[in-house]
Structure 1
Amino acid sequence: MRLAEESRPRDDRLPTPTTSIIEVQLRRGTDPEKLDRKSDNIRSSAAKVDDRDERTIAVFVPDESKAVFAKILDDYVNGPVTAEAGNPPNKSLVEAIEAFRTARLETFWTDNPASLPADPHHQMWWALWCWPCAEETVEDACARLGVRAANKDRRLYFPDVTVIPVLATRATIELMLFMTAAIAELRRATDNPVFFLDDVRAEQHEWSDELAGRIVWPGTDAPAVCLFDSGVNRGHALIEPALSESDLHSLNETDWGTSDHHPQGHGTAMAGMILHGDLTAALGDMSERTLRHRVESVKILPPDRFDENDPASYGALTQQAISLPEIAAPDRPRVFCMAVSNLEVSGSTPSSWSAAIDQAASASMTGDEQDAPRRLIVVAAGNMAAETDPTSMQPQDDCPIEDPAQAWNALTVGGYTDLTEVRERDYEDWIPIANAGELSPHSRTSVAWPQGRAPFKPEIVMEAGNRATNPAKSEALTFDSLSLLSTGSDMTRMPLVPFQATSAASAQAARLAAQIVADHPDYWPETIRGLIVHSAEWTEPMLEMFREASGKKQKYEIIRRFGYGVPDYDRATASAKNHLAMFAQATIQPFKLQGQRKFNECHYYKLPIPAEVLEQLENKPVDLKVTLSYFIEPNPGLSANIEPQRYQSHGLRFDLQRKGESLDTFKQRVNAAEREDSRRGPRVEPDDNRWLLGPNSVSAGSLHCDVWSGPAIELLGRDMLCIKPINGWWRDRAREYVNRQTRYSLIVSLKALDVDVDLYTPIRALIDVPVVEIETDLTPA
């Protein structure tokens, strides 16, 4: 025990260990749980048996229970023997022990010994088998060590264990193992669609039915994701309870029907992904799953025997598709999702289709009443051609995001990937094209779009799968093992199918949006979009690109590949103690007609960040993240392609009080109404260069996000934030336009990079509600 205690690792990033772990070898036939003392938190794990039926276990002994463990052995040696048989205390237990050894990482490895990497720097996805109560401990350790734990959708939940995939090196896993005492067992992360598509292919129905029986299905009044695609085959066990017959629509129901006609069942796979996400983990665990959103379908693609839709008509067809479910179920909250795009047509400038989406989102399409609800519309960025010859592959930056994903008001979704291991038999030596955390080979970017005239797209990336090449790099293929798993349209033959690309990514994003709608039915679509984007974080490979960027221009290009990163449900819906979010939903009137056309008002927010918190943090690094989300009314007129302010009805910007800037000077700088001479602003020092993107990055688009990074003390006195309008075509129009009001959502978070810092308690003490009070002034600069 003393040796185990002395060999504990030390690392300033993690709390000091308080548990010793020893390896115990038991004689053949011994119950591995014989040493457990649950009341004293003495636990055994990682039970293994060799060819001679001898057992090896790891035993966790907390410091406060060392005496208990020692007494078991001491009583055996020194305790009184029984009167009848003359046996010492604990005879059966102690005599079952063959040896004690200091535990090693190998002690916990219960997978094939040959698959355990020997190199301490080898990085892979590990499966951490943890006690259910230790999930937060593992998450905290991952955050402290800067490694990535898979989100909850990729974890497995069983009554006695939670399996968490973690991407890390062997050395990092070893540190977590012995410093947290939270990991009961280690294996290679093996959950993969190949198991369901190949190994148990004949049993897919049983697996699907078993999962369907564990789901608590939503009621008919639950929020829905309305899918525009090739139709959905509703009879699937994992779809039917969440898709009513009355929620199947079609642009031409008489001739096209509503069922999925796509050869690969694209619409049905989209529906399954919208409801459940990647099915790989869900099928493999035993937990009850509660589904709180539904799916609706509008078939917008004609079957093969019919003429294709005219691309020029897709704007009108999309708006028509939006009206069908709204007429059928007008009171149901919904998110719209579309993975259809105008193939090989760049979305660098507004089109009739993208403008129609912007119009629908802003509730300004034909037939919308003045108080019609705004709409959240999720669209896919479009896919790269699946070339089999690697030499024919174009660079992804040369393949722009496809029309209509440039829509300003839409949430555009690209793809990244964490899937890096080819599992197909005879292809194990093939090499993934992308490493974990990098851009999916399926995804397009907007790097080729003109900066300043085209919005940043995509806003987020989700898992889209990977591809691989042979060792000679003469052939490239898309593998099931590098894909996600969803519902198949041929329920009789293959109810589970591989699914990938930005279709899968956009379906997951729509699912996330519906989950937030179910949690917060009072949040606006603008807010849901803002929360998703605000929750996004870049993976380590993406962050490395930012660190290597030589200037703002290169950072803009990184945003045009990955958006603002990978969103997360937990971050979007809750504030961690060191990452506090505040938001406002507000209405603003940008312009007014009062003799002449003028800007109307600014909104000021005092951020509830106590000065004493910043003073206490001093030079510790913090991130202040600001996301502003609103919908514009589009006007794709003659000069809208070259001048964003001609396309937008109005624009909004945020501005933070600068270092050393008084409140009066700040207001005079951003607001002409605060000045004696409205044409001349105060002389001020330029802003610091701590914004990731900076104000020059903001031009086109209706969502603006930026991060200020620096020492906490430099935010002292910078607690006022302004929302101000900029020009748009409303200002030049008749009174009913120029005097219109519009809405926005503002989300601000302060994140301490030191995970031990508690921002939540002191800040939360100042605010009783999450919506911050607004101070209004007139006429921004």
Structure 2
Amino acid sequence: MPDVQALRHLLSLWRLFENGQAAPRGFAPWFEVFEHLHALRAWGPEDRIPSETIQYLEEELAAQGDDAVVRVEIELWYAATDAKRRAAKASFERAVAEAEGIIVDQSEIGAIGYIGRLVDLPATEVRRLIDREEVNLAICDDVMMVRPQSTVEFPVAVDALDEALPAPPTNPDPQLPPIAAILDAMPVQNHALLARRLLLDDPDDFDALSIVAERKHGTEMASLILHGDRHLNEEPLPRPIYFRPVLYAPGGGGNERPLRDRLLLDLVYRAVLRMKEGDAEGAATAPSVFIVNLSLGDRNRPFSGPMSPWGRLLDYLSERFGILFMVSAGNVTEPLTVRDFAGLIEFENASAEAREAAILRALAEQQATRTLLSPAEALNAITVGAWHEDGAPPANGAAVFSPFATEPGPNITSALGLGHRKVVKPDLFMPGGRELARVVSNGGNGVSLRPVPPGRLYGLRCASPDAGGDLAREGYSSGTSAATALATRAAHRIFDALSDPDNGNLLEDVDPSFYGVIVKALLVHRAGWGGIGDLLDQTWQPQGQGTHVVRRDGIARLLGYGRPAVQEAMECATNRATMVGYGEIPAGEQAALYRIPLPPSLERVREPRALTVSLAWFSPVNIRHQAYRRAKLEIAPENPETRFGVKRVPGQPSDKAVPRGSLFHVRYSGERAVAFVDGNTLALRVFCREQGGALDQSIRYGLAVTVEAGEAIRVYEEVRQALGIRPRA
């Protein structure tokens, strides 16, 4: 970080540039940088109180009147020493007192460089902030950012389904400890689909605060994780789920929300510590959990580039405890403007394919305003978008339509990536309901698509609260929250398949600290863009030589790594063999070497074949380094084109994008006839390199590799024999 003297020198250079003077000797490169800037200034009131905060303050004053007390969330700079932090906090407290404000809640988490305060401010001070007057809070150098209070709000209205489905007769095995947790709104814990399946831990007594008839979101998420989309008649999970409420249902039709007097980030932090380590009340409440569902997004904090405190928290906790956080990308409910059509008549007369292409172009054009909701940008988490898919029977709705002509894609409300430093986000997509839209005229500026709530038209069937006390009521859920719940369920099912004693319990000798990264690798392992990705790769701009990175970065904003075929990750087939590995690797030039057996039937024959490689890890982070990520892992097959006859598939994130995150997923295919070498094996090397500063620890990783071919090739049997694995009885 530059010191004060360096900043002053930089500002003096900027003033010379603004005045049209020549660059001093040796500083011409700075002037080249300045050509691309609109302004250069020291961090000040305009940055501490951004325009979205001003808008929030204005709305609060308008709603509350002259006697308004407006609550804001303030983050302080995290100084390098205890003495400087104490001084900064004291200075801030004086500024709040002089503003006649009140500090309602506070949190300090040193591991992520976070000092947060929840503050009530009187209307007079709020007006000064809106006018950007140089009042103490605005000019306090210890203040980094003033924002609206972090909040998550879910509507509680639901259309119940009339036809009943029987609840599964089996209950989870009480002897099996939970491996998955839900942090969400208080559920209807005695619902027929949830009773005896949840381990509820409610130290904040959200149960007493929540109206049962409006406990919608947590009830839906728990049901979807336990049972999936009930229209598909899947088996329930065999283990109970640990449930920690962090939101409540106030009643009166009000949205489910966090406690008004608590910092939600701090509540989540303490919930995870209580679960994994314990707190003043006792020992760890669920130490066996390594999958955490967080179908929450801060609607007051859309991702804008820098990593949010929320994101830093999840990255820290995932690396510290080996937790795989499943996080919803967020839903963008504002209408989507489609400018390719002059009006409604032209839109209605267009073919379904033309409408789909125009809608996808509109999403690309408006990506800057349809971004992820924090903490969806978290580096180590799996961020989940909503795919246009569900098991509901087709239903006709007046004046509504599906955006997709043939193959499904992401719902138009599903928030777009990329993540921090252009990391591929969302990571993957799961069914989020076959979302429908209503088209309205946009006053000569094209048409607008307005998403239609699921009602009884579409959605994922799940448990629902009922005003009359019916504990078997079900309804439809949709969106990225529901998709994330299904991703959590998929992760759980992958673990169940790996640890199934009837199939040899492949995890019997594996340290539990590896569970998260193994499941993470397998969860994305069978993901792909599918037909919609191929279409976009051929039609989206830019086209031409050397443009694939920019084009596929744009597609990855929309599709991530794609929709995974989860069942394929859980089982092999006659023509497909999946191998799973794990290990630890230090930073440096030494690589971990794996030799993948190749099916002899594919040697020297022209036959379609494919190779898929997925590598996952939880990287430690350096919050004071621009790179942020400290561990960069990559996996490289050795000359796959000449050794196995395959090359990189075009319809996937680019070779520049894949290495940016904590998930490395690449697909290869081909049909070239080649001679096998190295004992009919293909070498794969896993590398680990320092990136965001020194790395003084080994990194745990999980690895999945699949070899497949045409249906006539007995890939599984040949790979099994090469590995010396005996058939199971």
TM bracket (short chain):
0.5 to 0.7
Change (3 A) 1:589 1:311: farther
Q: Is the 8 A contact 1:602 1:722 kept in 2?
A: yes
Aligned match for 2:603, one of 612, 615, 625: 615
Cα distance change, pair 389–601 in 1 and its aligned pair in 2 (3 A): closer
In structure 1, C-alpha distance between the alignment counterparts of 2:656 and 2:262, rounded to whole Å: 34
Specify which of 217, 221, 228 is matched with residue 266 of structure 1: 217
Alpha-carbon separation, structure 2, partners of 1:572 and 1:311? 44
**Matched letter for residue 492 of structure 2:** A
Cα distance, 1:492–1:627 mapped onto 2, change above 3 Å: same
CA contact (8 A) 2:636 2:686 kept: yes
Residue aligning to 1:632? 619
- State the distance in 1 between where 2:289 and 2:326 align: 15
Structure 2 length-normalised TM: 0.62
> Is the 2:556–2:653 Cα contact (8 Å) retained in structure 1?
no
Kindly state the Cα deviation for residue 534 of structure 1 after the two structures are TM-superposed.
0.2
* 8 Å Cα contact 2:213/2:466 also seen in 1: no
Is residue 2:556 matched to residue 1:559?
yes
Residue identity matched to 2:522: L
Letter in 2 for 1:416: W
| Pairs within 5 Å for 1:86-485 | 201=162, 204=164, 207=165, 210-212=166-168, 214-244=169-199, 247-250=200-203, 252-253=204-205, 257=208, 263=214, 265-282=216-233, 289=235, 291-301=237-247, 304=250, 313-326=263-276, 327=278, 328-343=284-299, 344-346=301-303, 348-363=305-320, 373-385=321-333, 387=335, 395=363, 397-398=367-368, 399-418=370-389, 427-428=397-398, 430-435=400-405, 436-447=407-418, 453-470=421-438, 476=450, 477-479=452-454, 480-485=456-461
For residue 747 of structure 1, what is the aligned residue in structure 2?
A: 704
TM-superposed CA distance for 1:409, in Å, is 1.0
Structure 1 runs (4+) deviating above 6 angstroms are: 388-394, 471-475, 659-662
Q: 2:638 aligned with 1:657, yes or no?
A: yes
Q: Distance in 1 between matches of 2:708 and 2:304?
A: 34
Equivalent position of 1:514 in the other structure: 492
Instruction: Report the count of equivalent residues.
Output: 500
2:603 touches 2:674 (CA, 8 Å); kept in 1? no
Q: Give the Cα separation in 2 of the matches to 1:649 and 1:528.
A: 22
Q: Is the 8 A contact 1:234 1:259 kept in 2?
A: no
Change (3 A) 1:243 1:508: same
Q: Per the alignment, in what secondary structure is the counterpart of residue 430 of structure 1? A: coil
Change over 3 Å in CA distance of 1:696–1:310 after alignment to 2:
farther
Does residue 706 of the first structure (1) align with residue 695 of the second (2)? Answer: no
After superposition, the C-alpha distances for 1:724-779 in whole angstroms (9 at most, x for unaligned) are 11123452xxxxx62x2221112111222x33322112121111359xxxxxxxxx
Q: CA 1:456–1:715 in 2, change beyond 3 Å: closer, same or farther?
A: farther
Q: What 5-or-longer segments of structure 1 have no aligned partner?
A: 1-195, 364-372, 591-598, 663-686, 732-736, 771-781
Q: Distance in 2 between matches of 1:705 and 1:542?
A: 16
Q: Distance in 2 between matches of 1:690 and 1:714?
A: 18
Q: Give the Å deviation of 1:293.
A: 2.6
User: Is the partner of 2:180 in helix, strand or coil?
Assistant: strand
SS of the residue 1:379 aligns to: strand
Tell me if structure 1 keeps the 8 A contact 2:430–2:487. yes
- 1:708 partner SS: strand
- Displacement of 1:421 in angstroms is 8.9
Report the Cα distance in structure 2 between the residues aligned to 1:745 and 1:271, rounded to whole angstroms: 27
RMSD: 3.6
Q: 1:694 to 1:544 in 2, by over 3 A?
A: closer
Contact 1:628 1:747 survives alignment (8 Å): yes
- 1:223 and 1:211 map into 2 onto residues whose CA distance is 21
- Mapped pair 1:542 → 2:492: no
Alpha-carbon shift at residue 461 of structure 1 (Å) = 0.3
TM superposition shift of 1:543: 3.6
1:388, 1:268 → 2: CA distance?
30
**Distance 1:587-1:467 versus aligned 2 partners, 3 A rule:** closer
1:629 CA drift (Å): 0.5
* Mapping for residues 635-646 of structure 1, pairs under 5 Å: 635-637=622-624, 639-640=625-626, 644=627
Counterpart amino acid of residue 438 in structure 1:
G
TM-score (norm 1): 0.58
Query: Could you tell me whether the CA contact under 8 Å between 1:659 and 1:715 is conserved in 2?
Result: no
CA offsets 1:466-511 (integer angstroms, 9 cap, x no match): 3334577777422332211111123745621221000100000011
**Closer, same or farther in 2 for the Cα pair 1:290/1:276, shift >3 Å?**
closer
Q: Which has the larger radius of gyration?
A: 1
Name the counterpart of 1:126: none
One-letter identity of the residue aligned with 1:277: G
- Alpha-carbon contact 1:434-1:467 (below 8 Å) kept: no
Aligned-partner Cα distance in 2 for 1:419–1:742? 38
CA contact (8 A) 2:528 2:562 kept: yes
Change in Cα spacing, 1:478 to 1:274, as seen in structure 2 (3 Å) is same
CA contact (8 A) 1:239 1:271 kept: yes
> 1:696 aligns to what?
656
Counterpart Cα distance in 2 of 1:472 and 1:695: 40
Contact residue 248 and residue 258 of structure 1 kept, 8 A: no
Would the aligned equivalents of 1:223 and 1:514 in 2 still touch at CA under 8 Å? no
Pair 1:745–1:224, CA change in 2 (3 A): closer
Identify which of 559, 572, 576 aligns with 1:575. 572
**For each residue in 1:306-363, what CA deviation from the matched residue of structure 2 results, as whole angstroms up to 9, or x when unmatched?**
9956899444332211123334544534420011112151164322111110111111
Aligned to 1:528, the other structure's residue is in SS state helix
State the partner residue of 1:670.
Answer: none
- Letter matched to residue 626 of structure 1: V
8 Å contact 2:426–2:557 — kept in the other structure?
yes
Is the 1:421–1:432 Cα contact (8 Å) retained in structure 2? no
Change (3 A) 1:620 1:266: same
Kept in 2, the 8 Å contact 1:619–1:712? The answer is: yes
CA contact (8 A) 1:659 1:714 kept: no
Q: Secondary structure at the match of 1:362?
A: helix
Question: Residues 547 and 216 from structure 1, CA distance in 2 versus in 1: closer, same or farther, beyond 3 angstroms?
Answer: farther
The partner residue of 1:589 within 586, 591, 598 is 586
SS at match of 1:239: coil
Identify the match of residue 462 of structure 2 among 472, 475, 486. Answer: 486
Query: Which AA in structure 2 matches 1:248?
Result: D
Q: Secondary structure at the match of 1:359?
A: helix
Q: Structure 2: any 5+ residue segments left out of the alignment? A: 1-157, 279-283, 344-358, 442-447, 500-506, 508-513
Q: Is the 8 A contact 2:553 2:657 kept in 1?
A: yes
Deviations 1:579-637 (A, max 9, x none): 211121111122xxxxxxxx262111111115x33325x33232211111011112222
Alpha-carbon shift at residue 459 of structure 1 (Å): 1.3
Separation in 2, partners of 1:307, 1:558 = 34
Read off the aligned partner of 1:301 and give its amino acid letter: L
Whole-angstrom CA distance in 1 between matches of 2:423 and 2:337: 33
Alignment check: 8 A CA contact 2:575 2:708 kept? yes
Residue 514 of structure 1 and its aligned partner are, at CA, apart by: 1.3
Q: Deviation of residue 197 (structure 1)?
A: 6.0
